[in-house]
Amino acid sequence: MVLLLPLLALWSCRSDPVALEDCADAACERERLEAAWLRDPAGTLEGLAQVSDPAVRALGVEVLAQAHPTASAELCPLAPQGPTRRWCEGVATTPLLWSVQAQAGEPADEAAQVLAPGPTLRLPPLPAAAEASCAAEVPADACQAHAAREAALLGQVSQAAAACAGVASPRWQAACMFQSASIACREGQTEPCDEAAELCLWSGSLRGACLSEVASALAAQAPGAERRGSAAWAGLVAQVRALRRRLQAVDAILADRVADRTWAEALARSYGAARVVVGNPADDLPDEALPALRAAVAWRLSPDLAGLDLDRAAERVTTALAARSGGQRQLASPAPVRPTRSLWARNLPGEEALPQVAWLGDLRRTTSTEAAVDIRICVLEAMARQDPPGIDLLVEGLGDPDRLVRWTSARLLSQVAPGHTALGHVREYADPLVRARAGG
């Protein structure tokens, strides 16, 4: 074990010295080094740069980058070339690793809600740690993370998990799992994606973001919507099924949500490149993908729906879903930008019981088993995000015969036009969920 005494000695002559005499082990010395940083970050950097022993300098970089990751960009150049610097640079360039904190209670944003686990989540036991072997100057955690990265690059997910399990810090062990999952399951290498999802389960507060990356890697395989024939979609269908099977043993609700999230992005990609908007994918996809199909078609058509009433807009989407092209791949048009504006970040009381699915990616919407109702919901979600928003459609939706459509309209209108006079009438509705979304 490399100790930090040579490094800490640099501060012993300062006017406010770091106490060394009480330290008998590396854990104590880590605390002293962190304290030195809090007192004098610039002086600590200067002292660290003057350390000639690469092992001590590397350990100092690891200690400080773990404790103060916002300073990692300044610390990384001080690490020797090799695993420690690569680990530090990964921290510096991936703020998600340290900016996401565990939340108590309900997830804090819409993306977290989309992939929130059910109440029966049972995490599998952490794999047995496998001790990695690195050069002497590489600190233990950086060495384990390096071994995990190398295994993940080769698609060796179980080996990556075992290496991550050897990271001592729980926070950075979770970050190692997240990074390894993202490397093992990536666009162009999707065979290990169902296994990689297990690494996401051990990534703590990063779990939702990690599963979202797995879903995105799978979704990237989606063919253009004008393609016909089950072979075009067969690979993605099989991999989503494998992913669902692996997660069902842990949490059936989470398994459904990850599958929904994958289909939501896959269909958004598929129709983003479509020149002719037709329903070809409906012939080759499982029923679970149909809500995502409706949402993607409604979004793709939304620029052409302005000025239509809700019935006519829904009819346009229905007609497109029923149409079929000859299956020839058309010249792709520029993909529309996928919407990112969150309009359902938190549940109001009672809304947790509403049926929900992912909408085009990391957003969500409610859904109906009745196709006609579901299409109207999709139209409203799409038109609320147009510039300018389809306010007239949202107001019309407040009087829809279906409760879920009324609730969707109230939620969206209260977000995009919170002072609209129509919301005053909604506050008199009998339905408490619809009324609450209007502020009543």
SS3 per-residue string spanning 64-102: HHHHCHHHHHHHHHHCCCCHHHHHHHHHHHCCHHHHCCC
Strand partners, 356: 366
Q: How confident is the model at residue 47 (pLDDT cuts 50, 70, 90)?
A: confident
How far apart are the C-alpha atoms of 98 and 52, rounded to whole Å? 29
Q: Is the pLDDT of residue 20 over 50?
A: no
Q: What pLDDT score was predicted for residue 331?
A: 44
DSSP-derived secondary structure for 178-221: HHHHHHHSBTTB-TTHHHHHHHHHTSGGGHHHHHHHHHHHHHTT
- Averaged pLDDT, 167-184: 94
More confident residue, 2 or 109: 109
Q: What is the pTM of this model?
A: 0.88
pLDDT at position 404, please? 98
* pLDDT tens readout for residues 299-330: 999 999 999 999 999 999 999 999 998 765 54
Q: Over range 373-402, report the average pLDDT.
A: 96
Residue 350: is its pLDDT beyond 70? yes
DSSP assignment, residue 357? E
Instruction: Please give the pLDDT value at position 12.
Output: 45
> Taking phi first (over 0 means left), then psi (-120 to 50 degrees means alpha), and beta for anything else, what does residue 439 get?
left
Q: Is 351 helix (H, G, I), strand (E, B) or coil?
A: helix
pLDDT at site 138: 93
Would you state the pLDDT for residue 271? 92
Q: What is the DSSP letter of 57?
A: H
Average pLDDT, the chain: 88
Using H for helix, E for strand and C for coil, what is the string for 317-343? HHHHHHCCCCCCCCCCCCCCCCCCCCC
Nearest-angstrom CA–CA distance, 130 and 172: 16
Write the pLDDT tens digit of every residue in 102-151: 444 445 588 889 999 988 888 889 999 999 999 988 999 999 999 999 99
Percentage of residues of the chain with pLDDT beyond 70: 89
Closest CA to 209 of 269, 263, 266, 261: 261
Chain segment 280-301, per-residue pLDDT in tens:
999 999 999 999 999 999 999 9
398: pLDDT confidence band, cut at 50, 70 and 90? very high
What is the per-residue burial (b if ≥16 Cβ within 10 Å, else e) of 328-343? eeeeeeeeeebbeeeb
Give the whole-angstrom CA distance, residue 274 versus residue 362.
21
Residue 14 has pLDDT above 90, yes or no: no
Q: Which residue has the tokens 């004098």?
A: 40
pLDDT at 21: 42
Percent of the chain with pLDDT over 90: 67
Report the range of poorest mean pLDDT among 26-35, 100-109, 155-164: 100-109
For position 366, what pLDDT does the model report? 98
Which range among 21-35, 180-194, 309-323, 384-398 shows the weakest confidence by mean pLDDT?
A: 21-35
Q: Which of 29-38, 43-52, 133-142, 263-272 comes out lowest in average pLDDT? A: 29-38
Pick 150 or 2 by higher pLDDT.
150
Give the pLDDT confidence score for residue 179 in this predicted structure: 95
Q: Is 341 a residue whose pLDDT tops 70? A: yes
